[in-house]
Structure 1
Amino acid sequence: MSDILHHYIGGDFRAASTAATRERRNPSRSTDLVAVAPVGDATDVGHAVAAAAAAAASWRATTGPARAELLYRLGEIIAQRSEAMAERIAREVGKPIGEARGEVGRASVICRYYAGEAVRAVGQVIPAQTPDTLQYTVHDPVGPVALIAPWNFPLAIPLWKAAPALAFGNTVVLKPSELSPRVAHELAEAVHAAGFPAGVFNMAHGDGTTGAALIDHDAIRGVSFTGSQAVGARITEAAAARGIRCQAEMGGKNVVIVMADADLDRAAALTAAGAFRFAGQKCTATSRVIVADAVRKPFLDRLAAATAGLTVGPVMESACAIGPLVTAAALERTTAALATAPGERLFGGGLPADGDWAEGNWFAPCAVAVDDPAHPLAQPPDAANPRRDPLRVTPPRLALLTGRSDPARTG
């Protein structure tokens, strides 16, 4: 697959204004080229925003039931294409096919849910202090909004952002992750097939410079971002300086605390699944476990057994629970983290160097004992540079300190 993907602007797929491109390869098998996507520049962004601005007035004036019908139709199209979309997600970002199918199903539900929201009452009627007075509030669309989405939920998160914005009369410009351009292209194809008016939904491929150009554009009136703390902080600052709306979801760093009276079988099963499914590449993934000394050994024995029951690859098989890391760089950061601050390896971490594991970004689940909350492995990684941290196990005296030692993050 060598054809270069196009931006989706003003109801049409358009070639980029520059020749700059970026390849996206299958993280399970690096010889498999999934997509070649353009790296949009300020000109491409300008075209996308201009299309959104031109469509804003007519979309705002479109009735709620009419917007609802289009969103419902989009959900139906996604449902009809569900297996092909799930396979694309598995191939492009390494998500196990079972989870990929679940994501596509959720994406369809998101569209249907916000189709319902588009026809519900909004605003309030407020009792007036003077006679013959009607006092009420309504919610107006903000205008063209920028949506910057991550790679780990390449279909659901763009729709979590786009569907409510569209339902309430806003036009949008999506900048998908450069690690999931093919899935984003298929979302744009579904939007096109649903019959949304030209300019209501737009998409510009690219990297951080593309996103920065989008945020800085004068016609953008709101931003919804999911990604790293560092980038989210810069976007929030830029939005505040311009006086525009901003929503930033910046990852999670989640801890499980296992008390002495816990159901250890259930605790171990939930911990293993939360830590290692999809190689832990979620803001909701468990990355730390704090265990009471009285149950430390029996819990770890159960955790090792529960982890061994999670199948590593291939992602297209329904039994798969753990796929590859999303990029070779993420794999390198993970192995480097273990090498420079190893701790006590409790279990896991090894895969054969041949066969199914030779070409992809594979890393086996492992657990490392850490006693100090200042230990390098206890620090949160940057979500923009993902790595799969080894699961850490710490003693009970660190429960409150470790559980609260990260900067504020959403989960």
Structure 2
Amino acid sequence: MTAPARITHFIDGSPWGGQAERTSPVYNPATGEQTGELDLASGDLVGEAVAAAHTAFAEWGRTSLAKRVQVLFRFRELLNERKGEIAALITAEHGKVLSDAEGEVARGLEVVEFACGIPHLMKGGYSESASTGVDVYSIRQPLGVCAVISPFNFPAMVPLWFLPVAIATGNTVVLKPSEKDPSAAQAIVELWHEAGLPGGVLQLVHGDKEAVDALLTHPDVKAVSFVGSTPIAKYVYETGTAHGKRVQALGGAKNHMLVLPDADLDLAADAAINAGFGSAGERCMAISALVVVDSVADELVAKISERMASLRTGDGTRGTDMGPLVTAAHRDKVAGYIDAGEEAGATLVVDGRGGDVDADGEGFFVNPTLFDHVSSQMSIYTDEIFGPVLSVVRVATYDEGLDLINANPYGNGTAIFTNDGGAARRFQDEVQVGMVGINVPIPVPVSYYSFGGWKNSLFGDSHAHGTEGVHFFTRGKVVTSRWLDPSHGGINLGFPQNA
């Protein structure tokens, strides 16, 4: 067994050379082996990173759009060339299978490509002669130092939701990735600097709550982007806004998939498998509640159960279908929910506790699990499990299913499976959820639309990337301009009027 590698901060363009007072272990979840020792930032070190970003903003915020875009294009090419290396880092520290990790990087790359069009996205409006001799126009300007706090489940994609847009619009950034799987973010930061980004524009600090609180309260941090669980998202939003910051905090989810009797049940069964067990259920867009009209529930549950028998769980580098959970503690938590569901009286169709896995060592595995006859009072329904546990809730009608979804405190993503266009159109209008799929189980928007939910799945007014992302990282300014004719003069103390 090799000694764990040191993973440290990246400040002002260089790896940090100090000695950390606190560290945290990083594991390969497929084997249980510790592979890294992560330096955790103190509040003072976060302050150093913010100071470096604040100094760099003075120049980067005035850098031309043309020069900023040149860096974006070079970064895009480097990321595309090295995407396989970054995917391997994700698999090694998060555990998701390699094909899923590659898809994560590809979706992040789409946002980089979107940000390459920032000259067009930053264009303002212009009205000539709004009044006699008076022109009015609008401009958008960067905020300053922005903080990005990203989660463990998408260690590359989520930073890439925010960094390209924030940097392209002229801000400087301090990134704090998850301490569970930090190496993909580390590699991405190094690629930014290889692409020619000035050293102070992007800082990387590793840490826990101490680092987060330092970012939320630092007076030079102007905006915070966060993705994580709802309780922490609420804390980030309330703390950040209390300290005068602009905050977008994307929280948790309990995503429902409504299946109507006229749906293609083979398509619906495949979709339930893909959306329920992809990335071991550790997605904020995972389908965890399958809401089925009772007349087709038996048939659909049978089709899902049959497909689950062919799934292979194990090390994500071995061509398996599903990898481990991220930590031993999270594995135990998910297994506890399976215990609770069984005790509450739900029908355990497929038990994911135990079973064979294709991996060396003692990894953090829970196999795909299927419950039927789940009620809305059970914890396996009410809580975001964030694991490979799919719960089937039976309803009598479309209206009952819709009411169940709308009564849920989360509103991140949802889907309907039907061949009835009228029902689908009604659902997209009536469902109280931010992202909707019609015969699409994971409706993550493309980069030029914005990602975000409703209700307890989002704190703040702005969604991620797309035009809302551009607006979040900039402030609007309106200029009213008059260049006087040399022959014009005179004093008039009256209130200005349009004429």
Q: Which residue of 2 aligns with 1:334?
A: 334
Is the Cα contact below 8 Å between 1:10 and 1:51 reproduced in 2? yes
Is the Cα contact below 8 Å between 1:380 and 1:406 reproduced in 2? no
Matched ranges for 1:254-293 at <5 A: 254-293=255-294
Structure 1 counterpart SS, 2:123: coil
Is the Cα contact below 8 Å between 1:16 and 1:38 reproduced in 2? no
Does residue 378 in structure 1 map to residue 381 in structure 2? yes
Is the Cα contact below 8 Å between 2:355 and 2:367 reproduced in 1? no
Question: Does the C-alpha gap of structure 1 residues 243 and 79 become closer, same or farther in structure 2, counting only changes over 3 Å?
Answer: same
Question: Does the C-alpha gap of structure 1 residues 21 and 129 become closer, same or farther in structure 2, counting only changes over 3 Å?
Answer: same
Q: Which residue of 2 aligns with 1:39?
A: 40
Candidates 366, 369, 372, aligned match of 1:366: 369
Structure 2 counterpart SS, 1:91: helix
**How large is the RMSD of aligned CA atoms in angstroms?**
1.9
* TM-score for both structures, normalised by structure 1: 0.93
Matched ranges for 1:10-409 at <5 A: 10-16=12-18, 18-31=20-33, 33-118=34-119, 120-126=121-127, 128-318=129-319, 320-342=320-342, 343-352=346-355, 356=359, 359-381=362-384, 387-388=386-387, 390-397=389-396, 399-409=401-411
Going by fraction, where is helix more abundant, 1 or 2? 1
Is the Cα contact below 8 Å between 2:368 and 2:388 reproduced in 1? no
| Distance (Å, rounded) in 1 between the aligned partners of 2:18 and 2:410 | 38
Structure 2 counterpart SS, 1:346: strand
Structure 2 counterpart SS, 1:295: helix
Percent of residue pairs bearing the same amino acid type: 30
Choose 127-136 or 295-304, whichever is displaced more.
127-136
Is the Cα contact below 8 Å between 2:366 and 2:388 reproduced in 1? no
| Distance (Å, rounded) in 1 between the aligned partners of 2:411 and 2:46 | 29
Going by fraction, where is strand more abundant, 1 or 2? 2
Question: Does the C-alpha gap of structure 1 residues 3 and 90 become closer, same or farther in structure 2, counting only changes over 3 Å?
Answer: closer
Question: Does the C-alpha gap of structure 1 residues 371 and 104 become closer, same or farther in structure 2, counting only changes over 3 Å?
Answer: closer
Is the Cα contact below 8 Å between 2:314 and 2:358 reproduced in 1? no
| Distance (Å, rounded) in 1 between the aligned partners of 2:374 and 2:94 | 34
Unaligned runs of 5+ in 2: 414-499
CA-CA distance at 1:259 after TM superposition: 1.3
Unaligned runs of 5+ in 1: none
CA-CA distance at 1:360 after TM superposition: 0.7
Q: Which residue of 1 aligns with 2:459?
A: none
Q: Which of these two proteins has the greater Rg computed from alpha carbons?
A: 2
CA-CA distance at 1:245 after TM superposition: 1.0
Structure 1 counterpart SS, 2:111: helix
Residues 162-189 of structure 1, C-alpha deviations (whole Å, 9 max, x = no match): 1100010000000000111111211122
* TM-score for both structures, normalised by structure 2: 0.77
Residues 72-130 of structure 1, C-alpha deviations (whole Å, 9 max, x = no match): 11111112212221111111100110111122233333223212224545221246541
| Distance (Å, rounded) in 2 between the aligned partners of 1:355 and 1:166 | 42
Q: Which residue of 2 aligns with 1:3?
A: 5
Number of corresponding residues: 405
| Distance (Å, rounded) in 2 between the aligned partners of 1:354 and 1:395 | 31
Tell me which amino acid in the other structure corresponds to 2:328: A
Tell me which amino acid in the other structure corresponds to 1:406: N
Residues 22-80 of structure 1, C-alpha deviations (whole Å, 9 max, x = no match): 1110010112x332111111111001100110001100111111111111111111122
CA-CA distance at 1:232 after TM superposition: 1.0
